[in-house]
Protein backbone atom coordinates (compact mmCIF):
# COMPACT_ATOMS: atom_id res chain seq x y z
CA UNK A 1 0.00 0.00 0.00
CA UNK A 2 1.33 3.42 -0.92
CA UNK A 3 0.43 6.64 0.84
CA UNK A 4 -1.54 9.23 -1.10
CA UNK A 5 0.93 11.88 0.03
CA UNK A 6 4.51 11.61 1.20
CA UNK A 7 4.47 14.10 4.05
CA UNK A 8 8.24 14.01 4.47
CA UNK A 9 8.96 14.79 0.80
CA UNK A 10 6.24 17.43 0.43
CA UNK A 11 7.46 20.98 1.20
CA UNK A 12 3.95 22.23 2.01
CA UNK A 13 3.37 19.39 4.46
CA UNK A 14 6.87 19.83 5.85
CA UNK A 15 6.14 23.39 6.93
CA UNK A 16 3.18 22.36 9.04
CA UNK A 17 4.39 18.92 10.12
CA UNK A 18 7.41 20.32 11.91
CA UNK A 19 4.95 21.98 14.28
CA UNK A 20 2.89 18.80 14.64
CA UNK A 21 6.05 16.83 15.45
CA UNK A 22 7.13 19.50 17.97
CA UNK A 23 3.67 19.40 19.52
CA UNK A 24 3.90 15.62 19.80
CA UNK A 25 7.22 15.88 21.63
CA UNK A 26 5.75 18.46 24.03
CA UNK A 27 2.66 16.32 24.70
CA UNK A 28 4.97 13.37 25.52
CA UNK A 29 6.64 15.50 28.18
CA UNK A 30 3.40 16.56 29.89
CA UNK A 31 2.74 15.19 33.40
CA UNK A 32 0.75 12.08 32.50
CA UNK A 33 2.20 8.60 33.14
CA UNK A 34 3.94 7.22 30.06
CA UNK A 35 1.94 3.97 30.18
CA UNK A 36 -1.32 5.93 30.26
CA UNK A 37 -0.17 8.03 27.32
CA UNK A 38 0.54 4.97 25.19
CA UNK A 39 -2.73 3.24 26.15
CA UNK A 40 -4.74 6.37 25.34
CA UNK A 41 -2.88 6.99 22.07
CA UNK A 42 -3.47 3.36 21.09
CA UNK A 43 -7.19 3.46 21.93
CA UNK A 44 -7.81 6.72 20.06
CA UNK A 45 -5.94 5.30 17.07
CA UNK A 46 -7.97 2.07 17.18
CA UNK A 47 -11.23 4.01 17.16
CA UNK A 48 -10.07 6.15 14.23
CA UNK A 49 -8.63 3.21 12.30
CA UNK A 50 -5.17 4.76 12.10
CA UNK A 51 -2.93 1.79 11.34
CA UNK A 52 0.33 3.75 11.36
CA UNK A 53 -0.42 5.16 14.85
CA UNK A 54 -1.52 1.75 16.14
CA UNK A 55 1.80 0.38 14.86
CA UNK A 56 3.77 3.23 16.45
CA UNK A 57 2.12 3.26 19.85
CA UNK A 58 2.08 -0.51 20.20
CA UNK A 59 5.80 -0.73 19.43
CA UNK A 60 6.70 2.25 21.64
CA UNK A 61 4.69 0.75 24.50
CA UNK A 62 6.40 -2.64 24.14
CA UNK A 63 9.81 -0.93 24.04
CA UNK A 64 8.87 0.87 27.28
CA UNK A 65 8.02 -2.46 28.94
CA UNK A 66 4.25 -2.63 28.45
CA UNK A 67 2.80 -6.15 28.45
CA UNK A 68 1.25 -7.78 25.40
CA UNK A 69 -1.79 -8.70 27.50
CA UNK A 70 -2.60 -5.08 28.34
CA UNK A 71 -2.00 -3.90 24.78
CA UNK A 72 -4.21 -6.64 23.38
CA UNK A 73 -6.99 -5.75 25.82
CA UNK A 74 -7.07 -1.98 25.20
CA UNK A 75 -9.92 -2.38 22.71
CA UNK A 76 -11.95 -4.19 25.39
CA UNK A 77 -10.75 -2.25 28.44
CA UNK A 78 -14.17 -2.20 30.11
CA UNK A 79 -14.16 -5.97 30.49
CA UNK A 80 -10.43 -6.31 31.27
CA UNK A 81 -9.15 -6.43 34.83
CA UNK A 82 -5.58 -5.42 33.90
CA UNK A 83 -6.04 -1.63 33.98
CA UNK A 84 -5.95 0.69 36.97
CA UNK A 85 -8.92 2.90 37.81
CA UNK A 86 -6.96 5.91 36.56
CA UNK A 87 -6.18 4.20 33.24
CA UNK A 88 -9.82 3.19 32.86
CA UNK A 89 -10.95 6.78 33.46
CA UNK A 90 -8.40 8.02 30.91
CA UNK A 91 -9.58 5.46 28.35
CA UNK A 92 -13.22 6.44 28.93
CA UNK A 93 -12.42 10.12 28.46
CA UNK A 94 -10.35 9.30 25.36
CA UNK A 95 -13.21 7.33 23.80
CA UNK A 96 -15.80 10.02 24.45
CA UNK A 97 -13.41 12.75 23.33
CA UNK A 98 -12.79 10.86 20.10
CA UNK A 99 -16.36 9.84 19.36
CA UNK A 100 -17.78 13.35 19.60
CA UNK A 101 -20.07 12.88 16.62
CA UNK A 102 -21.42 9.63 18.09
CA UNK A 103 -21.84 10.97 21.62
CA UNK A 104 -23.30 14.31 20.58
CA UNK A 105 -22.18 16.12 23.71
CA UNK A 106 -18.60 14.88 23.76
CA UNK A 107 -17.32 13.94 27.20
CA UNK A 108 -20.20 13.60 29.64
CA UNK A 109 -20.10 15.01 33.18
CA UNK A 110 -19.81 11.59 34.80
CA UNK A 111 -16.72 10.62 32.79
CA UNK A 112 -15.15 14.05 33.33
CA UNK A 113 -15.73 13.81 37.10
CA UNK A 114 -14.27 10.28 37.14
CA UNK A 115 -11.08 11.44 35.42
CA UNK A 116 -10.92 14.67 37.46
CA UNK A 117 -11.12 12.63 40.65
CA UNK A 118 -8.07 10.57 39.67
CA UNK A 119 -5.88 13.13 37.91
CA UNK A 120 -4.81 16.58 39.06
CA UNK A 121 -5.50 19.58 36.83
CA UNK A 122 -2.13 19.40 35.07
CA UNK A 123 -2.56 15.70 34.32
CA UNK A 124 -6.14 16.23 33.18
CA UNK A 125 -4.95 19.00 30.86
CA UNK A 126 -2.27 16.66 29.52
CA UNK A 127 -4.91 13.99 28.90
CA UNK A 128 -7.13 16.40 26.97
CA UNK A 129 -4.15 17.62 24.94
CA UNK A 130 -3.11 14.03 24.15
CA UNK A 131 -6.59 12.99 23.01
CA UNK A 132 -6.89 16.09 20.83
CA UNK A 133 -3.41 15.66 19.36
CA UNK A 134 -3.98 11.99 18.57
CA UNK A 135 -7.26 12.72 16.84
CA UNK A 136 -5.55 15.32 14.62
CA UNK A 137 -2.62 13.06 13.75
CA UNK A 138 -4.92 10.10 13.13
CA UNK A 139 -6.86 12.13 10.61
CA UNK A 140 -3.70 13.23 8.80
CA UNK A 141 -2.71 9.59 8.44
CA UNK A 142 -6.11 8.08 7.64
CA UNK A 143 -7.00 10.64 4.97
CA UNK A 144 -3.75 9.99 3.14
CA UNK A 145 -3.67 6.24 3.83
CA UNK A 146 -0.26 6.18 5.45
CA UNK A 147 0.99 2.57 5.52
CA UNK A 148 1.85 0.78 8.73
CA UNK A 149 4.36 -1.85 9.73
CA UNK A 150 7.86 -0.44 9.43
CA UNK A 151 7.88 1.95 12.38
CA UNK A 152 10.89 1.55 14.69
CA UNK A 153 10.39 2.34 18.42
CA UNK A 154 11.38 5.92 19.17
CA UNK A 155 11.69 6.82 15.50
CA UNK A 156 10.00 10.21 15.85
CA UNK A 157 11.15 11.12 19.38
pLDDT of 157 strictly over 80: no
pLDDT digit string, tens, across residues 61-119 = 999 899 999 999 999 999 999 999 999 999 999 999 999 887 677 899 999 999 999 99
Q: Which pTM was predicted?
A: 0.92
Q: Options 2.60.40.420, 2.30.30.30, 2.170.120.12, 1.20.1290.10; which CATH number does 11-143 get?
A: 1.20.1290.10
Measure the CA–CA gap between 67 and 73, rounded to whole angstroms: 10
pLDDT digit string, tens, across residues 108-144 = 999 999 999 999 999 999 999 999 999 999 999 999 9
- Report domain extents, the chain: 11-143
**Cβ-proximal residues to 143 (8 Å cutoff; 6+ apart), any chain:** 4
The answer to whether 72 and 54 are in contact (CB under 8 A) is no
Q: What is the DSSP letter of 78?
A: G
Nearest 5°: phi and psi at 8? -80, -15
The answer to whether 70 and 39 are in contact (CB under 8 A) is yes
Amino acid sequence: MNARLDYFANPVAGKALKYFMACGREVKDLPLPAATQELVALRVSQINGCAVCIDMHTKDAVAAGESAVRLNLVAAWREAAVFTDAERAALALAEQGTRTADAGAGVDDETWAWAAGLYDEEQLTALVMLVSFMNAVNRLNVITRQPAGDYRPGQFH
